[in-house]
Structure 1
Amino acid sequence: MSSMEKKKKRKRKTSTATTNTLSPSSPQSTTAPLLPDDLLVSCFARVSRLYYPTFSLVSKRFRSLLASPELYKARSLLGNTENYLYLCLGSHPRSLWYSLFLKPNQTLSNEKGKSSVSFLVTVPIPSSPSARFQGLVAVGCNIYNIKETPYMEENKEELSSNVSVLDCLTHTWREAPRLPVKLMTLSASVLDAKIYVAGIGYKDGDSWGYLKNTFEVFDTRTHIWDPETIPCSETICSFNNSRSVSIDGKVHVKTNNVVAYNSKEVRWDLVGQEMGEYMTSDFCCVIENVLYSASHGVLRWYDSEVSRWKPLKGGLRKFSLGACVRLADYGGKLAVLWEQEQELYGDKKIRFTEIALVRRKIEREIWGEVEWLSDVLRVPKSCSIVKVLGVTL
């Protein structure tokens, strides 16, 4: 073999070896270093949750990380939490749940007739317990459903809790420690991550004929009910069919009067009847320590410094007296959902408007600016809005 042929043969071998080294089937080319979980979690925490459904399609590993508690701890530490609205609809014998979904990268518009950039999507919960306005409260990413003890069940053995928690991260229900007393009526409100439940309970625990005020406290951080019931004399205010809200660092309970519980000084103060004028319905919510109401079809706010209700200014729409209107805190803005019955198809529309709130300290007024308005859901007439709640995820 000539020296020229030997050189060509060596060149072919070198070329083949190089080709095999760079071949796609070669282990060196396919084995890429995987990003560690903590780095992926840090990346996901910086992205809006609106994109999570798309990311979850990449792999099982992504789906697992997107549902992990570590991800939401990271979001909280980064200050990248987002506000979401959850709607509870009453549909016998259970409740239906929806979440407001905003399409990403859309320009919002408040012009009627434009395509909606939001809609309500069904929350996939296999079986959801019935719920009432007074017993639903939100704390962080959880919604608590606290229920009374029906009259017919007073002597039955209680096998399950009357307090359940909807985890909005996993969309699953779990039981929480039950109320320490049986309540015929109740209303719940939240103050400093604690749930305060005012209601009428048994006097001696064994008869509906002897009832008394009861005021129970549940700490959502320790998941424990306070062992001692906070006393409140019936001569001050009866908690029968009460409504309660938390403003000015106190829990305000309204029935025939309005009383406020000061947890720091452990005492009840009589507020008076002015505040309760528009707390008689389920049309109230608190945003940044201000109480808002849609009672009698008009949006109002309560000025606690002068003890007077004032109309929310800004040329906002009014609602018909018979309309079912619900308010919620939507990240510092006022979310309003209401029912609008339709003659066609025997159903009704649920409409939603988002209102930015501006305080004018010199005038001591609050103005509302409608940022957008749209239809978000169509439901049968047999369904009704129970409550709208804002959660943080």
Structure 2
Amino acid sequence: MMMRCDSKRNKFCKRMSTTAKEAPSWSFSSLPDDIILNVLARVPRRYHPILSCVSKKLQSLVRSSELQITRSLRGKEDRFYVGFRETLPSYNYETLDEWSYHWFTFTESHRRLASIPFPFPPIKPYSTTPIMVGTDIYIVGGSRNMWILDTRSGKLRHGPKSPVFRDKAAVGLVNDKIYIFGGTCPKCCYRDIQAQAFDLNTQTWQLAPNPSVPVYSTNDSVVTPALGRKIYVMDGMDVIVYDTRDGTCDEIVRAEGFNSQNICVVDNVLYMHYNGVGLMWYESKAKEWRLVHGLKFKGYFSDIKMAEYNGKLAFLWHSVNNGEVWCSVIALYGRSNVAIRGLGILSDVPFSYNLKDFMVCTDYY
């Protein structure tokens, strides 16, 4: 019976192969743009990096504003989430009742910050890192506990505990795994375990390759699907590039004399905002930082956050002078030139609010 089935399958494959050879050449990219956009609007975001590699036309359409308009017409508009940490006058690092965390949201069509009554786990917000996966926000750090916030229902639930608690660790998303590595381990018996990963499909933790160099204190970490398996991490004065396949790490030295706490990666190019200088990008071949031309942000900003958004750079900043929160979506051309498709001012927030987190919610799955 098995041999008969195999024989039928082989005959079918041969017939299909012959038909394919006789059929005229055709490709998906040859369809009209409006048809392609309607198809792409139904494809989950996790496949966009793969589609971008098929052809330059698909890459352009995946990142186009036309696709975002098509998606919004289907009720699938991307949503930005912003988190502020409010430090109360009697704040004490040893207590948990001297601060509050505030969630806000906005979309490109609704360009105003709107407060949302989402809960925050009972842990210190300065030690946590939220990772956006689809419509869920995974909050890790500060303890072995993982918390998962469902943005559709606004409910917060417990996730599986991580094997080892590492303080001030780096966090990054690669494919379907959340990686936690580096930092410090309070218990001596677990100091040899420097990296762990949470599998989003099986909802289980597993050990990950240890970094080849010490990763001590991190300020920010970022990863985009286009990066493959690498995570970029702020470590002291420099940037560490952690390869999740084997733990090997490369080091990128920051521009001398400049201070920055903000990094982002778009199309495998590392961008960093330097206070008093502006946005710069890293030329990997020459191993030097270069200025991005065309950006002019007025005033001094106490808080700045960046995020990769559909092949563009979403730039959010909080003005210390008047409490205004601004956002711009920056299209990067030739790495050193930009075109700003700005959202403009979003809202005013109290002076006691400090910008903590900035995320983009997409239909990842």
Q: Shorter chain as normaliser: what TM range?
A: 0.5 to 0.7
Residues 119 and 375, structure 1, Cα contact 8 Å, conserved in 2: yes
Residues 210 and 247, structure 2, Cα contact 8 Å, conserved in 1: no
The whole-number CA distance in structure 2 between the counterparts of 1:305 and 1:314 is 23
Name the CA shift for 1:248/1:296 in 2 (closer, same or farther; >3 Å): farther
Residues 89 and 383, structure 1, Cα contact 8 Å, conserved in 2: yes
Residue in 2 that maps onto 1:368:
338
Residue in 1 that maps onto 2:330:
355
Determine whether 1:90 maps to 2:65.
Answer: no
**Match for 1:331: what amino acid?**
N
Residue in 2 that maps onto 1:295:
274
Task: Please state how far the C-alpha of 1:254 moved relative to its aligned partner.
Answer: 4.1
CA distances 1:288-330 after superposition (whole Å, capped 9, x unpaired): 333222231411222334332222222433653x521111223
Residue in 2 that maps onto 1:391:
361
Residues 209 and 244, structure 2, Cα contact 8 Å, conserved in 1: no
Name the CA shift for 1:268/1:126 in 2 (closer, same or farther; >3 Å): closer
The whole-number CA distance in structure 1 between the counterparts of 2:230 and 2:173 is 10
Secondary structure in structure 1 of the residue aligned to 2:211: coil
Residues 328 and 344, structure 2, Cα contact 8 Å, conserved in 1: yes
**Match for 1:250: what amino acid?**
K
The whole-number CA distance in structure 2 between the counterparts of 1:275 and 1:189 is 24
Which range is displaced more, 332-341 or 249-258?
249-258
CA distances 1:1-33 after superposition (whole Å, capped 9, x unpaired): xxxxxxxxxxxxxxxxxxxxxxxxxxxxxxxxx
**Match for 1:121: what amino acid?**
A
Choose which of 298, 303, 308 in structure 2 pairs with 1:324. 303
Residues 141 and 167, structure 2, Cα contact 8 Å, conserved in 1: no
The whole-number CA distance in structure 2 between the counterparts of 1:305 and 1:214 is 30
Residue in 2 that maps onto 1:261:
242
CA distances 1:167-187 after superposition (whole Å, capped 9, x unpaired): 222222221112211222212
Secondary structure in structure 1 of the residue aligned to 2:275: helix
Residues 133 and 386, structure 1, Cα contact 8 Å, conserved in 2: no
Residues 202 and 212, structure 1, Cα contact 8 Å, conserved in 2: no
Residue in 2 that maps onto 1:221:
201
**Match for 2:249: what amino acid?**
D
Name the CA shift for 1:286/1:319 in 2 (closer, same or farther; >3 Å): farther
Q: Unmatched 5+ residue regions in structure 2?
A: 1-40, 43-69, 88-98
Matches within 5 A, 1:202-213: 202=186, 204-205=188-189
Task: Please state how far the C-alpha of 1:100 moved relative to its aligned partner.
Answer: 0.9
**Match for 1:349: what amino acid?**
E
Residue in 1 that maps onto 2:185:
201
Choose which of 148, 158, 161 in structure 2 pairs with 1:178. 161
Q: What is the TM-score with the length of structure 1 in the denominator?
A: 0.61
**Match for 2:136: what amino acid?**
N
The whole-number CA distance in structure 1 between the counterparts of 2:299 and 2:272 is 12
Residues 329 and 341, structure 2, Cα contact 8 Å, conserved in 1: yes
Number of equivalent positions: 277
Residues 119 and 156, structure 2, Cα contact 8 Å, conserved in 1: no
Residue in 1 that maps onto 2:116:
123
Choose which of 139, 143, 150 in structure 2 pairs with 1:145. 139
Residues 174 and 228, structure 2, Cα contact 8 Å, conserved in 1: no
The whole-number CA distance in structure 2 between the counterparts of 1:126 and 1:254 is 28
Q: Percent identity?
A: 24
The whole-number CA distance in structure 1 between the counterparts of 2:253 and 2:241 is 12
Q: What is the TM-score with the length of structure 2 in the denominator?
A: 0.65
CA distances 1:106-150 after superposition (whole Å, capped 9, x unpaired): xxxxxxxxxxx610111232555553476122122222111224x
The whole-number CA distance in structure 2 between the counterparts of 1:147 and 1:312 is 33
Matches within 5 A, 1:14-33: none
Q: CA RMSD in A?
A: 3.3
Name the CA shift for 1:313/1:342 in 2 (closer, same or farther; >3 Å): closer
The whole-number CA distance in structure 1 between the counterparts of 2:166 and 2:135 is 26
Name the CA shift for 1:254/1:275 in 2 (closer, same or farther; >3 Å): farther
Matches within 5 A, 1:339-354: 339-342=318-321, 348-354=323-329
Task: Please state how far the C-alpha of 1:188 moved relative to its aligned partner.
Answer: 0.7
CA distances 1:85-116 after superposition (whole Å, capped 9, x unpaired): 1000112423111111344xxxxxxxxxxxxx
Task: Please state how far the C-alpha of 1:285 moved relative to its aligned partner.
Answer: 2.1
Task: Please state how far the C-alpha of 1:336 moved relative to its aligned partner.
Answer: 1.7
Residues 111 and 343, structure 2, Cα contact 8 Å, conserved in 1: no
Name the CA shift for 1:132/1:212 in 2 (closer, same or farther; >3 Å): farther
Matches within 5 A, 1:278-289: 281-289=260-268
Choose which of 204, 207, 217 in structure 2 pairs with 1:240. 217
Task: Please state how far the C-alpha of 1:193 moved relative to its aligned partner.
Answer: 2.4
Name the CA shift for 1:94/1:167 in 2 (closer, same or farther; >3 Å): same
Task: Please state how far the C-alpha of 1:392 moved relative to its aligned partner.
Answer: 0.5
Task: Please state how far the C-alpha of 1:197 moved relative to its aligned partner.
Answer: 1.0
**Match for 1:171: what amino acid?**
G
